[in-house]
Amino acid sequence: MAHRTRIFSGIKPTGHLTLGNYLGALRRWAEEDQHRGEALFCVVDLHALTVEHDPARLRRLSRQTAGLLLAAGLDPAVCTVYAQSHVDEHTRLSYLMECVATDGEMRRMIQYKEKALRARETAQGVRLSLLTYPALMAADILAFGATEVPVGEDQAQHVELARDLAERFNHRYGPVFTVPRATVPPVAARVMDLQDPTSKMGKSHASTAGMVHLLDEPEAVARKVRRAVTDSEPGVSYDRELRPGVANLLEILSSCTGKEPAVLAEGYAGIGALKADTAEAVVELLRPLRARHAEISADPSHVDGVLREGAARARALARPTVDAAYEAVGLMAPA
Ligand code: TYM
């Protein structure tokens, strides 16, 4: 089994990407992960079908997400960027994962519970694929023999499940899969909503006031950060439990500047100055990303080409492992 570093991660095109996606995942993929071994980054469009969706919007968002991966600095000469639906190995292996996982395990997933609760409130009900989502996600990771899965904190539970499924499969059927581990960033692993700092900044949040989108105009970014909900305590201190709004700003600023949140806190007498500096830091962080995205989206055929080549490469990498898994469970090899 492979012991060299192999990295896999994915991003769901269910909405416009947020500062949470960037600080928790994307930026690290570009700055560090792609250079640390064989690395694949996937627009996981099949995962976007687990909740109500509009086909035209999904297509638009998928292309935009791919463009943003490139704008963030993922280099197709260094890593593999592709769309999940272009590589059949994901769904081929997902079925085997469903045959290894239990229904209780799936129902325990926090994201399932949260999203199912929301979906139940709509007339359309909960899609079965929302429940089996972690089986597909495990397949995404295991098909490539990934050793590391760089994600934000909210995805750690799903990666943990992928580990469990890999170990269980190997134990039952023989050593086919590499057991992966999640890596989360030291700060900003869970960027919170600026208007509701006790809940995660997420693409599918109902209100956008507390969410910074990567393609927001600089003025909008600054406004959202300056209007962040904090508290009425005097001064600035770093305490995630008692002062979640202030802690969120400190973590965002920390992620932008590389200085520890608690050290940053000592430098501020009031929240106004912290908000102003954080707003400026985020605007400057996103400025080059927006500019590169504008260039990249001017040439859609470039993105299409990257995805086409990426899919061919991903298919070739995944195929032997998925074939080995099919054989290991007792399915006949095709004659
Ligand atoms: P997704 O699309 O919700 O998010 C993509 C990445 O961004 C991280 N992230 C955050 N990090 C910090 N703070 C936030 N507020 C925040 N919001 C999102 C996520 O943790 C993630 O790393 N199920 C996955 C996609 C997926 C996947 C995979 C990931 C499918 N298959 C295989 C890794 C490996 C998801 O919905 O991420």
**CATH number of the CATH domain containing 255:** 1.10.240.10
pTM of the model: 0.96
Say yes or no to pLDDT of 297 above 80: yes
Q: How far apart are CA 140 and CA 1, in angstroms?
A: 17
**Are 265 and 307 contained in the same domain?**
no
The answer to whether 203 is a known catalytic residue is: yes
pLDDT at 227 over 70: yes
Domain carrying residue 154: 6-184+299-328
User: Is residue 204's pLDDT more than 80?
Assistant: no
Residue 170 lies in a domain: yes
Q: What is the pLDDT of residues 181-193, one digit of tens each?
A: 999 999 999 999 9
Residues 282, 147, single domain; the answer is no
Q: Which atom of ligand 1 is nearest to the CA of 193?
A: 15
For 187, other C-beta atoms within 10 Å of its C-beta total: 20
- Structure tokens, 237: 């201190």
Residue 210 maps to a domain: no
* Ligand 1 atom 16: residue of nearest CA: 20
3-state DSSP: the chain helix, strand, coil percent, rounded to 5? 55, 10, 35
Domain harbouring 100, CATH code: 3.40.50.620
Q: Is residue 120 part of a domain?
A: yes
Q: 1 pLDDT exceeds 50? A: no
pLDDT at 61: 97
Q: How far is it, in rounded angstroms, from Cα 43 to Cα 335?
A: 33
Q: Summarize the confidence of residues 262-274 as an average pLDDT.
A: 97
Task: Please check whether residue 204 is in contact with residue 193, taking contact to mean a CB–CB distance below 8 angstroms.
Answer: no
In a domain, 10, yes or no: yes
β-pair type (148-150, 181-183)? parallel
How do residues 97-150 score in pLDDT, each as one tens digit? 999 999 999 999 999 999 999 888 887 899 999 999 999 999 999 999 999 999
Whether 72 and 145 map to the same domain: the answer is: yes
For a mutational test of ligand 1's pocket, the pick from 41, 129, 155, 254, i.e. the residue with the most ligand atoms closer than 8 A to its C-beta, is 155
On whether both 284 and 303 belong to a single domain, the answer is no
Give the SS3 label for residue 81: strand
Q: Given a cut of 80, is residue 226 above it in pLDDT?
A: yes
Ligand 1: residues whose CB is within 6 Å? Answer: 8-12, 20-21, 24-25, 44, 47, 137, 140-141, 149, 151-152, 154-155, 158, 189-191, 200-202
Same domain flag for 222 and 174: no
pLDDT of 2 strictly over 60: no
Cα torsion 267, 268, 273, 275: sign: positive
Asked if the structure places residue 263 within a domain, the reply is yes
Are 173 and 126 within one domain? yes
Give the Cα separation of 120 and 32 in Å (integer): 40
